[in-house]
Structure 1
Amino acid sequence: MAPQDTLRYTRIPLTHGSGAIPAVGFGTLIPDPVATRQATRTALEVGFRHLDCAERYRNEAAVGEAMQEAFEAGTIQRQDLFVTTKLWNTNHRPERVKPAFEASLRRLRLDYVDCYLIHTPFAFQPGEEFHPTDEQGQVIYDSGVTLTETWRALERLMEDGRCRSIGLSDISLEKLREIVAVARIKPAVVQVESHPYLPEWELLDFCRAQGIVLQAFAALGHGMEPKVLDDPVITAIAQRVGKTPAQVLLAWAVQRGTAFLTTSTTPRRIQENFEISALPEDALREIRDGIKTSIRFNAVVETGVPGFIPRAPRAEPKGTGPH
């Protein structure tokens, strides 16, 4: 098999946890549970072996159903899958971490998860409301807990084997440095927005030096303006190599050493996002040197308030990602 045919099967060994994370990942931020179940089923059928979930997406049970169907059909075994889920902002207090983790396990119908992430570094007021707000509609943050205390609780989760690795999401390089400096168990994975308009080279270099996998969400720009899928550099490369702009962007993500997530409910697009092939070196250089646009589409890293999670169902934008 030619090397370019194996890019989609790339796995990155975890330095600070057990196993290896498939670089090609499917994000499950899909508002409707029925659509979630069908899309997850399709993703598994076309070859995705990495599912990214979250307590906050409110659909872990639907993802769990799709996985169970595949297990019972014998088409996939549990050890073939890498499953990530996330601790929401309202559960940062140490005493809330384990119950939240166990609730995710129950909804997913799993005995263990491969990776558990702190969804954002921002603690919200604990309680049943995902977005506790004051009279002015402003989020109520929780000043009674530090990110380090929450991290310590995640470290303890790894002791009984039901959590194979831990990590952080929506985090700045500055905050990541703080956790790495005090961690007993370093983050295995850091999940952030990243694409050619936000390549995060400095963060990627730090992660490489620390043995941390950088995982890109919104790898296709989440369909937002300016559209990275329509960038002339990307479209020219796509035409030259006989791939779609999405496949070019996703191949770039893997070849620079990161993992990525894409989300779709369209079977054709789910398959397209899996069927990537390696780009020639000159294409990688063109993307690095030729693209000058710089933009962050999701401000969650600054506030802890998700930019992409809808409050009500809405149509799927092209090239969605979590958060």
Structure 2
Amino acid sequence: MIRGQCLITNKDDQYNDPDVAVILGSDKNPTCESQSVLMAPKIKLSSGYDMPILGFGTYNLNGYQCLTAIHSAVESGYRHFDTAFNHENERQIGEALRTQIQMGNVSRENIFLTTKLWNIHHDPRDVRRICEHQLNLLGFEYIDLYLMQFPVGYRHMCDEILTPINDISVLTTDVDYVDTWRAMEELVKLGLVRSIGLSNFNMEQIQRIIQCSSSKPVVNQIEIWPGFMQKDLVDYCRYNGIVVTAFAPLGQPNREKHTPIYFFSEGMKRLVKKYKRSAAQIVLRYLVDYGVIPIPKAGNPLHIKENLKIFDFKLEEIDIRALRGIKSKERLVQYENIKNHKFYPFERED
């Protein structure tokens, strides 16, 4: 268990941003004898709330593995957790976080919890109901960040059918994501969520939301990893004060298939030897310096701790350029079965 806390401003030049602080330890009053754990610095969202610049992803974590991973993550120092309705693990995540709160390892105020509105709930009349249901699953009174996970709505059959299919086609709707967004804005007014944002939206779609609603997204969560950096979209979001969260930040490494190639390359092995860090640590450090918030997923306690320990070293410019020069690859998450929908956000092949 983690004991004690010190809230300090990091004196290193790399963290001289007044919006960024480093938290050591847990959320209790500090004691001289307490053990400290380095946590991720924070960035201030346009909504006024602080968000740690490294998060813990939970896709495909379920059951006992999910519970143990969340416990390990909290005790390692993570305070930013990312889930979604279609991950079907909100109940386990809430249970583990509440247990950690009861143990005194963390307070609710120092947890930043993100979850998402799934595609079957785009009907504005359904938004509040499902958000309240997700809060019940999590066991919390509010959600820190609520994202519309995709701009395309699916037909709602029931809450348990996440992807309604007719033969081989996904049953979609023509619900306008702007109308869904306006319903999400009401969640903020009701105090159910603190901030709202988007996921998998392109520049034109974000701009339309900004122009057609009373608030702009604080976050756009998109696929980003070396070889798929989406520079134009990141630059657009940065210009508009929208923080970018990077899912699949490592490119979903597969040791058996040795994919993506960059992760297992001789160049990466050289960097691992040079910095005495894992390939994952090097990539996460690179993405943080790029200005996005990675949310790596891990189930192994050693990898969970390792992924957080990236704030005590810096990559040299020559190595940053080498990572920047990785040849562009195709996106991993494509939603190809709905690519003909008018709100499909990705490039279509001719």
TM-score band w.r.t. shorter chain: 0.7 to 0.9
The one of 161, 173, 189 equivalent to 1:159 is 189
- Deviation, 1:280, is 2.5
The one of 315, 319, 337 equivalent to 1:283 is 319
- Deviation, 1:279, is 1.9
The one of 227, 231, 234 equivalent to 1:197 is 227
Tell me the distance in 1 between the aligned counterparts of 2:61 and 2:111.
23
Tell me the distance in 1 between the aligned counterparts of 2:273 and 2:213.
46
- Alignment check: 8 A CA contact 2:169 2:337 kept: no
Tell me the distance in 2 between the aligned counterparts of 1:168 and 1:256.
20
* Shift in alpha-carbon separation, 1:180–1:235, aligned structure 2, 3 A: farther
Aligned residue pairs, count: 300
Cα RMSD (Å): 2.0
- Alignment check: 8 A CA contact 1:41 1:67 kept: yes
**1:53-202 matches, cutoff 5 A:** 53-128=83-158, 129-134=161-166, 136-143=167-174, 145-202=175-232
- Deviation, 1:31, is 4.4
Amino acid at match of 1:294: K
What's the % identity of the aligned pairs? 32
User: Secondary structure at 1:165's aligned position in 2?
Assistant: strand
Give the unaligned 5+ runs of structure 1.
305-323
Larger radius of gyration between Structure 1 and Structure 2: 2
- Deviation, 1:133, is 0.8
- Alignment check: 8 A CA contact 1:233 1:287 kept: no
Cα deviation digits, residues 198-251 of structure 1 (max 9, x gap)? 111101111111100000000011125334422444332222122111001000
Amino acid at match of 1:70: Q
User: Is residue 269 of structure 1 aligned with residue 269 of structure 2?
Assistant: no
Higher relative contact order (CA 8 A, sep 6+): 1
* Shift in alpha-carbon separation, 1:301–1:11, aligned structure 2, 3 A: farther
Other-structure match for 1:292: 327
* Shift in alpha-carbon separation, 1:169–1:141, aligned structure 2, 3 A: same
Runs of 4+ in 1 over 4 A off after TM superposition: 4-8
* Shift in alpha-carbon separation, 1:66–1:181, aligned structure 2, 3 A: same
User: Secondary structure at 2:291's aligned position in 1?
Assistant: coil
Other-structure match for 2:55: 25
- TM-score under structure 1 normalisation? 0.88
Tell me the distance in 2 between the aligned counterparts of 1:179 and 1:19.
21
User: Secondary structure at 2:143's aligned position in 1?
Assistant: coil
Query: Which piece of structure 1 moves more, 3-12 or 125-134?
Result: 3-12
Give the unaligned 5+ runs of structure 2.
1-9, 16-21, 23-37, 340-350
Tell me the distance in 1 between the aligned counterparts of 2:336 and 2:207.
15
**1:38-49 matches, cutoff 5 A:** 38-49=68-79
Tell me the distance in 2 between the aligned counterparts of 1:97 and 1:257.
31
User: Secondary structure at 2:182's aligned position in 1?
Assistant: helix
User: Secondary structure at 1:114's aligned position in 2?
Assistant: strand
Other-structure match for 1:309: none
